[in-house]
Structure 1
Amino acid sequence: MGSIVSRLLSRLLREEEIEDIEEIKKETGFSHRKITHLYRRFTSLDKGGNGTLSRDDFHRIPELAINPLGDIITNGFFPEGEDQVNFRGFVRTLAHFRPIDQDNEKNKNPSATEPLNSRTNKLLFAFRLYDLDRDGKISRDELLQVLRMIVGVNVSDEELGSIADSTIQEADTNGDGYISFNEFIKVMKNVDVEQMMSSWFLR
């Protein structure tokens, strides 16, 4: 069965992408079957047919169009300063949403590269969604912007400001007025990351 999926995938992919498949499997933990499924999804979104996706391509995804955080989630697919993402980048981003392999988490080799779907990498992905200017810290203004997107006009600016202030106060252990990634990890220690990162994209 695996060889049939491999042959199908080889027919679907451009020649230069075929040699990357084994690397993509190792990097992401996805099977050939899942990579084939994601490649079909990718090509259906690639309206220009040029092997990359733009932000406009993501905006046509109905689930993102109705999600108040759609723009922020879309930004998570694009490296800083880039306005296109190729198939490999697309799959690498989606790998953050794979369920955590609990055996690997317990027995991981400290010198090994952490998988993209590890708890730490999931939290880093989530942190970057809040870190809108990508400077490595979450400011009060960034937190306010994201909160505003989540709740819309249902909560007053005053209430949102109060939520942002109390969140920063609780998380900001070094007193610099920002939330660093290490502080973010501490705040999220009791959060069910699997639920937070569950994704319709991988179904």
Structure 2
Amino acid sequence: MGNAQGRLSPQEQMDLLHAANFSERDLKKLYKRFRALDTNQNGELDTHELFDVPELADNPLVKRVLSIFDTNGDGKVSFVEFLVGLSKLAANTDEFQKTKFAFDVYDINKDGSISNGELFAVMKMMVGSNLNDQQLQQLVDRTIVQADKDGDGMISFDEFREMVSHIDIADKLRVDL
């Protein structure tokens, strides 16, 4: 992406402006930030480079966010993936898209529902050793029982949306450029 001087061609700029909901100014700013994060200058971000970002270093979900941004599953995030991923968290992104992003954090296997095991795994990332596995499993089981309206033992996207409807997702999942 871009030439040796780190600039996007006009065609690349237009393609990216259509792929994400950013202004041309924001696009240039994000590209500069991406290149600064890309310490080995290979045009992709890996987990180690993302852990070097102070705002992400202590975030227990950074690996899950990387997984969501990494749409082709190669374990790295290209600039296009970075941009499209960030666009889901931009201030002007609608609540539906942000709720979908939050759901995707929990839907590890990307099958469209959150299983007991997936909920346990993500919550374990968040609580660490503050709860033992038995306490955490009880919390997960209660959450599934409360959210699972159709009784299939899983949380669908619609059930998730209902479960988080009282939370201002648009404000909580927001990246300011």
TM-score, normalisation: structure 1:
0.77
Q: 1:3 maps to what in 2?
A: none
Trace 1:52-201 onto structure 2 (pairs within 5 A). Answer: 52-100=44-92, 117-199=93-175
Residue 36 of structure 1 aligns to which amino acid in structure 2?
Answer: K
**Kept in 1: contact 2:67–2:75 (CA 8 A):** no
- Give the distance between the partners of 1:84 and 1:73, measured in 2 at CA: 11
The aligned length equals 173
CA offset at residue 84 of structure 1?
2.5
CA offset at residue 39 of structure 1?
0.6
CA offset at residue 14 of structure 1?
4.1
CA offset at residue 70 of structure 1?
2.1
CA offset at residue 131 of structure 1?
1.0
Q: 2:21 maps to what in 1?
A: 29
CA offset at residue 12 of structure 1?
4.2
Residue 88 of structure 1 aligns to which amino acid in structure 2?
Answer: V
- Give the distance between the partners of 1:27 and 1:75, measured in 2 at CA: 19
Runs of 4 or more off by more than 4 Å in structure 1? none
Gaps of 5+ in 1: 1-10, 101-116
Query: CA distance change for structure 1 residues 28 and 14 in 2, over 3 Å: closer, same or farther?
Result: closer
Secondary structure of the corresponding residue to residue 14 of structure 2: helix
CA offset at residue 192 of structure 1?
0.1
Which stretch shows the higher mean deviation, 68-77 or 161-170? Answer: 68-77
CA offset at residue 176 of structure 1?
1.0
CA offset at residue 71 of structure 1?
1.8
TM-score, normalisation: structure 2:
0.87
Residue 97 of structure 2 aligns to which amino acid in structure 1?
Answer: N
- Give the distance between the partners of 1:89 and 1:124, measured in 2 at CA: 16
- Give the distance between the partners of 1:14 and 1:184, measured in 2 at CA: 39
Which stretch shows the higher mean deviation, 31-40 or 50-59? Answer: 50-59
Query: CA distance change for structure 1 residues 169 and 80 in 2, over 3 Å: closer, same or farther?
Result: farther
Per-residue CA deviations over 1:151-183 (Å, capped at 9, x if unaligned) read 221123222112111111111111111111121
**Kept in 1: contact 2:99–2:161 (CA 8 A):** yes
Structure with the greater alpha carbon radius of gyration: 1
Residue 19 of structure 2 corresponds to residue 19 of structure 1: no
Gaps of 5+ in 2: none
Higher relative contact order (CA 8 A, sep 6+): 2
